[in-house]
C-alpha cells in the first residue's frame, strides 16, 4: 500500500472538461461579412472567477487590446466526492493486458467512482454576447454530455465520463452608479462522474495453460468407483488469432444457414472450428466445397456473411496466442 503511482486521472478529466468549451465564438451584428471582428473567439482560461473579476476592476478600459477584455470564460475544479450509487465490491478485480503487449496480462482492482464538481463562468459586457455563449452550450446537456477519457494509458483503459449540468446562475454586477454596467456573469455548475484506478501490478498475471487432474489409486479412490485415470486438459482457442485465411465464401450466407459454400475446401478439416467475421462455427461435414456447420459456437452470434468473406481456421497455432478474456474451451485427452 502507498507505493507511488500517478495515472493523472484528475488532470485528464479537467482537460477533457475544458476542451468542451474551447472553441466557442460569438458574432457581432452590424459588422461586415469580411470584417475579422465580426466573429470573436471567446477566450477560455483555468482559474477562479474572482481572479478575473479583480483584474477587470483594476482595468476600467475593457476595449484596450493589452488589457483583459470581455467576453471571456473561465472554469475551475471546485470539489470531489465519493459516489456511492456507482460503488462496486472493494475486492472485485478484472483482468486486462498491457497496451503495448497483449500477452502481458495484469489483474487490476475495479475503479473507485468519484464525482468531480466544476464551475464554468461566462463574463461579458453585452447581454447579447452572454446569450450567444449560453445558447451554444445548453442544448448539448440533457442534462448529460459524455466524453471518453483514456484514464489509464498503460492498459488502454478508456471510460465514458458523463458530465451533468447541475445549475445555471446569473448575476449582473454593477460598478459605480446604477447606469454603469460592468460585467454580466453566468455561472454554470457541472458534475463529472469519473473513476479512480489504483496501481497497475508490475508483474504479469499467469494464465493457466495446462491443468492436471488425477485420482490416487488405493482406498481413497474406491469410494469414487474404479477405473479412474489421470486426465490432462489443455485450453484451446475459441477464435482465430493468427489471421491466417484458409478459404473465402463463394456465396452470401444467411444467419440461419448451416451449409457454407467456399471457394476451396482443401485446407479445411471436419470436426474443427472456423472463424468467419468473428462468428465461430464447427465443421461437421465437408462435401466438395460445401461445409456443414454448427453456427454460433463459443457464445458467438450467428450473423449474415457476404461473398468473399475470409474463412479462418482455429488451430493449435492459435492456442499459443490465447489472450485474457477468451472463453477457454477444455478438451480432455
List pLDDT tens digits, range 33-43: 566 667 888 98
Buried b (16+ CB within 10 A) or exposed e, 297-332: bbebebeebeeebbbbbbbeebeeebebebebeeee
pLDDT at position 105 over 60:
yes
pLDDT at 309 over 50: yes
Domain boundaries of the chain, sorted by first residue: 9-196, 211-332
Residues 258 and 295: beta-carbon distance below 8 Å: yes
- 9-196 CATH: 3.30.2000.40
Return the SS3 of 283: strand
pLDDT of residue 67: 45
User: What is d(CA 333, CA 331) in angstroms, rounded to the nearest whole number?
Assistant: 7
Please give the pLDDT value at position 65: 46
The pLDDT, as a whole number, for residue 66 is 41
Cα(150)–Cα(152) distance, integer angstroms = 6
Closest CA to 40 of 23, 27, 30: 27
From CA 56, how far away is CA 157, in angstroms rounded? 43
Q: Which residue has the cell 482465430?
A: 240
Separation CA 198–CA 191 (nearest Å): 22
Q: What tens digit of pLDDT does each residue of 250-283 get?
A: 999 999 999 999 999 998 999 999 999 989 999 9
Confidence class for position 135, pLDDT limits 50, 70, 90: very high
Amino acid at each position: 500500500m502507498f507505493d507511488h503511482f500517478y495515472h493523472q486521472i484528475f488532470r485528464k478529466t479537467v482537460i477533457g472538461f475544458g476542451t468542451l468549451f474551447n472553441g466557442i465564438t460569438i458574432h457581432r451584428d452590424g459588422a461586415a461579412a469580411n470584417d475579422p471582428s465580426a466573429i470573436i473567439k471567446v477566450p477560455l482560461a483555468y482559474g477562479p472567477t474572482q481572479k478575473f473579476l479583480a483584474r477587470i476592476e483594476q482595468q476600467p478600459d475593457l476595449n484596450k487590446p493589452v488589457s483583459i477584455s470581455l467576453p471571456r470564460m473561465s472554469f475551475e475544479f471546485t470539489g470531489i466526492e465519493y459516489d456511492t450509487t456507482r460503488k462496486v465490491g472493494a475486492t472485485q478485480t478484472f483482468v486486462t493486458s498491457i497496451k503495448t503487449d497483449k500477452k502481458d496480462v495484469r489483474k487490476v482492482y475495479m475503479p473507485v467512482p468519484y464525482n468531480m464538481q466544476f464551475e464554468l463562468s461566462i463574463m461579458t459586457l453585452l447581454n447579447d454576447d452572454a446569450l450567444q455563449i449560453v445558447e451554444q452550450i445548453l442544448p448539448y446537456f440533457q442534462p448529460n454530455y459524455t466524453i471518453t477519457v483514456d484514464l489509464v494509458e498503460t492498459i488502454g483503459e478508456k471510460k465514458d465520463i458523463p458530465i451533468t449540468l447541475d445549475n445555471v446562475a446569473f448575476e449582473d454586477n454593477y460598478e459605480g452608479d446604477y447606469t454603469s454596467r460592468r460585467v454580466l456573469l453566468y455561472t454554470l455548475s457541472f458534475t463529472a462522474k469519473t473513476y479512480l484506478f489504483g496501481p497497475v501490478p508490475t508483474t504479469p498475471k499467469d494464465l493457466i495453460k495446462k491443468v492436471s487432474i488425477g485420482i490416487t489409486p488405493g482406498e481413497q479412490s474406491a469410494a469414487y468407483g474404479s477405473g479412474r485415470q489421470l486426465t490432462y486438459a489443455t485450453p484451446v482457442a475459441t477464435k482465430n488469432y493468427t489471421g491466417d485465411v484458409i478459404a473465402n465464401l463463394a456465396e452470401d450466407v444467411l444467419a440461419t444457414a448451416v451449409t457454407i459454400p467456399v471457394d476451396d475446401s482443401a485446407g479445411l478439416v471436419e470436426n474443427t472450428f472456423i472463424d468467419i467475421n468473428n462468428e465461430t462455427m464447427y465443421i461437421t461435414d465437408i462435401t466438395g466445397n460445401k461445409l456443414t456447420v454448427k453456427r454460433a459456437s463459443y457464445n458467438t452470434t450467428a450473423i449474415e456473411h457476404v461473398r468473399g468473406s475470409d474463412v479462418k481456421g482455429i488451430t493449435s497455432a492459435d492456442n499459443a496466442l490465447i489472450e485474457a478474456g477468451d472463453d477457454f474451451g477444455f478438451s480432455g485427452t
